[in-house]
Amino acid sequence: MTDTAEAARAVNEITQRARAARAAKVAAAAASGASAASANASPKFAPGVLVKFITFAIAVATLPIATYYYALENWFPEDTMYSAICAAAAVNLIVLVYAVIAVV
């Protein structure tokens, strides 16, 4: 027998095992009263994750710009470099907070 035939037979066996496992999962869900569609559905992510991501995306887009202009008008009126450094620090702070929240 050739290697191709053996590989095809192995793939066919794996496919049959996967189908059997899926059928057993659907049968178990049916026995517990759940629908077959809910047995195959897997949760994508928690709803709060998307809200946090959008919140931090808006923060990354707006807070550094606001920090730059605030620092330029109030703290460093004659030097844009220090205002830009403040804006970069604001971005790094937002990313740090996002990472800490993600870990926790």
Residue 62 shares a structural domain with residue 37: no
Identify whether residues 22 and 54 lie together within a single domain: no
Residues 66 and 85 in one domain: yes
User: CA-CA distance, 68 to 84, in Å (whole number)?
Assistant: 6
Cα separation values, 14 from 1, 22, 25, Å:
19, 12, 17
Q: Mark whether 63 and 92 lie in a shared domain.
A: yes
What is the rounded distance in angstroms from the CA atom of residue 3 to the CA atom of residue 45? Answer: 41
Residues spanned by the domain of 89: 49-103
Q: Do 29 and 53 fall into the same domain? A: no
pLDDT in tens, 42-93: 667 777 888 888 999 999 999 999 999 999 999 998 889 999 999 999 999 9
Q: How many domains does the chain have?
A: 2
Domain match, 58 and 88 both:
yes
Give the position of tokens 């929240």: 101
For residue 36 the two structure tokens come to 């077959």
Measured CA distances, 46 to 49, 50, 90, 98, 100 (Å): 6, 8, 28, 16, 18
For residues 27-49, give the mean pLDDT.
67
Same domain? 4 vs 24: yes
